[in-house]
Amino acid sequence: MSNISLKYKGYIGKILRVNLTDKTTRNFQITNELAEKYIGGAGMAARILYDELAPGIDPLSPENKAILLTGPVEGTMIPTASRVGLYAKSPLTNTFFHSSAGGHFGPEMKFAGYDGIILEGVSNKPVYLFVDDGRVEIRKADHLWGLDTTMVQEQLFEELGSEELQIAAIGPAGEKRVRFACVICGSRALGRGGLGAVLGSKKLKAIVVRGQGDIDVPDMRRMKYLLDDLFSRFNANPSTSEILPRYGTPVLVNANNTLGLFGFNNWQDEFYPEAEGLSGDTMRKELVRRDKSCYACPSRCGKFSIVEKGSNKGAKVEGPEYEDIFSLGSMCGHNNLDVVAAAERLCDDLGVDAIEAGVAIAFAMECYEKGILTDADTDGVNLSFGNDDIIMDMVTNIALRKNKLGDILAEGVKRAADKIGKGSHDFAMQNKGLTFPGHSARGMPGFALGYATGPRGASHHDGRPTGERTGFVKRNTIEGKGEYTAKINHLNILTDSMILCHLPEAVWGPLDITEIIVRCINTTTGMDLTLDETKKTAERIWNLIRAFSIREGYRREHDTLPKRFMEEPIKTGPSKGMVISQEMLDYMLDQYYDFRGWDRTTGIPSKEKLLELGLDDIAADMDKYR
């Protein structure tokens, strides 16, 4: 039954609520206020989880809830309206976490009759959820438990008698509660934050959706003109029309390395002389067999690759993406793209975040280099940087918690450094528990501020590297970076709430929310938001998420960077000498908090700011923490 009380289009109007403990289901109706104030995706999920999760709960306990959610645009033909987000309190960071994926799952879930699914409680036995055109079943999954994510999908295709399904599944890593376990949708990953472990803790192996519904918009003629405009912009922009389709994200290997911004040997340096072997050019020539698109996207940045030589010959992968190449390649000190591709596939199959896994291996390699870990700790394995022979085994050991070192690293580098000690925190390249992806902090001050203040920790989707990396703004200054970073936060969290992909950010922004985004929301939903109101909505969501973090104990002192980024200047290459000192970071933090109306000492949003944003209840909550 549709939600007749919701006046806005684009939405289905209801979210399925599934209690895995007592196996009951009911509907959560999206209200006009929820849509108006939080749009969908990350914003709506943050509001629901702020209201429904008690502070301080264990993310892997039955008290945590996970939400799969789309936004109003999913299922329309707005470019990149393909996404689905997964939201929960993260076992890696203990913060509200959102991770989204392209592909086809998001639109299919809406066609199946729901904007999203709230998953609560814990099943006593493995189960999977099947949402088939409005019909909901919780089915036994004992026979699926232990299977990797590819095998789960193949098994479900077979037993459900169709491949016209979209499946989100965890692998063995999620079952074993690896703190950075992911969820795989088709061949796309809800990658970061360990949300696969949350599903594993609930004994939920997979969610299957299939549907034939459609999406209502208020005025098809108006939508047609919007789509004409959007596709024209995508076709005109060099990034979305030329670079992404040809090379995908791996083009960044040469781009970042040429600028001296490419993490190498656990960020001991940012210029890798042998990076060409990992480049988009090499990958296109040696690995890529065809291009792939997500639903409604003209940019086809996905690359289907096959390894043609070496011990991993025959490995097939959608990717590897830039982040995989960074984490499983240069961070571990080697440039064997075949190994990277195979290891990325292994990460997907076993269900771990490839960024976190690669950085964990690099962290262990530096421990080994410094003598903090010895052959006795590694079962005799030579963990030297550059030894690409051990990458596959290390991924397996971590994802399956197969040996003592793998079990330690499966907790994430922050907890691993807690356990290993001996000064290893100095080079545990994380913030708030989340490891740094492949974009420099030292070489881009505004982006460093985005990393430091990121509510998810070191995510490259809270701040963004693009403005400084492409020259929209000067990268060799800290002046003005507080406002710069805050506006990019707002652009990101708004697109994460609609939900749109960040890769075409030149079309959406890239430095602030623009009119084209407002048109996307209004044309899809029938809202009548102005640009200022839309910016206010994004700011509201950002403050809500900050309040979630405050409630969990995060303050200004947690808005920081690893010692390496603040005390060790980049050693070689075009960015040699760049560093973000504590003094520089403090200056930018003051700018950032001032722009936001947050207290400089604590980082808590001011009462006035929260009231201005219509977050009256949260203003009262925050009084407890001032």
Partner 1 sequence: MQITLRTFANLKDIIGSRETTVTLTPGAELSDLFDFLDNTYGKRFDRQIRDQRTKEIVPFLILINNETFRSVADMNRPLKNGDVVTIMVPFDGG
Q: Using CA atoms, how far apart are residues 92 and 433, in angstroms rounded to an integer?
A: 6
Taking the complex as a whole, the smallest distance from the CB of residue 575 to partner 1 amounts, in Å, to 9
Q: Using CA atoms, how far apart are residues 77 and 79, in angstroms rounded to an integer?
A: 6
238 belongs to the binding site for partner 1 (CB under 8 A): yes
- Please calculate the CA angle 179-171-345 and round it to the nearest 5 degrees: 100
By CB under 8 A, name the one of 236, 386, 530, 616 that touches partner 1. 236
Q: What is the 3-state secondary structure (H, E, C) of 5-33?
A: CCCCCCCCCEEEEEECCCCEEEEEECCHH
246 belongs to the binding site for partner 1 (CB under 8 A): yes
By CB under 8 A, name the one of 24, 29, 476, 582 that touches partner 1. 476
252 belongs to the binding site for partner 1 (CB under 8 A): yes
Smaller CB distance to partner 1: residue 127 or 441? Answer: 441
If one counts every other C-beta atom within 10 angstroms of the C-beta of residue 233, the result is: 17
Q: Using CA atoms, how far apart are residues 115 and 117, in angstroms rounded to an integer?
A: 7
Site residues for partner 1, window 61-90 (CB under 8 A)? none
Taking the complex as a whole, the smallest distance from the CB of residue 244 to partner 1 amounts, in Å, to 7
Nearest by Cα to 15 from 89, 83, 114: 114
Site residues for partner 1, window 424-443 (CB under 8 A)? 438-439
239 belongs to the binding site for partner 1 (CB under 8 A): yes
487 belongs to the binding site for partner 1 (CB under 8 A): no
Taking the complex as a whole, the smallest distance from the CB of residue 366 to partner 1 amounts, in Å, to 25
By CB under 8 A, name the one of 65, 179, 345, 469 that touches partner 1. 469
- 289: phi then psi, degrees, rounded to nearest 5: -105, -35
Size, binding site for partner 1 by CB under 8 A: 46
Both tokens assigned to 252: 């960044």
- 392: phi then psi, degrees, rounded to nearest 5: -60, -45
Smaller CB distance to partner 1: residue 247 or 368? Answer: 247
Contact 295, 306 (CB under 8 A): no
Question: Kind of pairing, strands 204-210 and 127-132?
Answer: parallel
Taking the complex as a whole, the smallest distance from the CB of residue 476 to partner 1 amounts, in Å, to 7
Residue type at position 266: N
Q: Which stretch binds partner 1 (CB under 8 A): 207-215, 311-319, 446-454, 468-476?
A: 468-476
Contact 17, 24 (CB under 8 A): no
First to last CA, the chain: 45
- The total number of residues shown for the chain amounts to 626
274 belongs to the binding site for partner 1 (CB under 8 A): no
279 belongs to the binding site for partner 1 (CB under 8 A): yes
510 belongs to the binding site for partner 1 (CB under 8 A): yes
Q: Is 598 helix (H, G, I), strand (E, B) or coil?
A: strand
Q: Using CA atoms, how far apart are residues 108 and 117, in angstroms rounded to an integer?
A: 13
By CB under 8 A, name the one of 157, 231, 304, 472 that touches partner 1. 472
Contact 60, 201 (CB under 8 A): yes
Smaller CB distance to partner 1: residue 231 or 587? Answer: 231
- Please calculate the CA angle 413-317-147 and round it to the nearest 5 degrees: 70
Taking the complex as a whole, the smallest distance from the CB of residue 102 to partner 1 amounts, in Å, to 12
By CB under 8 A, name the one of 255, 296, 328, 420 that touches partner 1. 255
- 579: phi then psi, degrees, rounded to nearest 5: -160, 155
Smaller CB distance to partner 1: residue 80 or 549? Answer: 80
95 belongs to the binding site for partner 1 (CB under 8 A): no
Q: Which stretch binds partner 1 (CB under 8 A): 51-59, 229-237, 304-312, 477-485?
A: 229-237
At 356, which helix (H) or strand (E)? helix 354-369
Taking the complex as a whole, the smallest distance from the CB of residue 566 to partner 1 amounts, in Å, to 22
By CB under 8 A, name the one of 167, 259, 361, 417 that touches partner 1. 259
Can you give the binding site for partner 1, defined by CB under 8 A? 232-233, 235-244, 246-247, 249, 251-252, 254-255, 258-259, 279-281, 301, 322, 438-439, 460, 465-466, 469-472, 474-476, 502-506, 510, 573-574
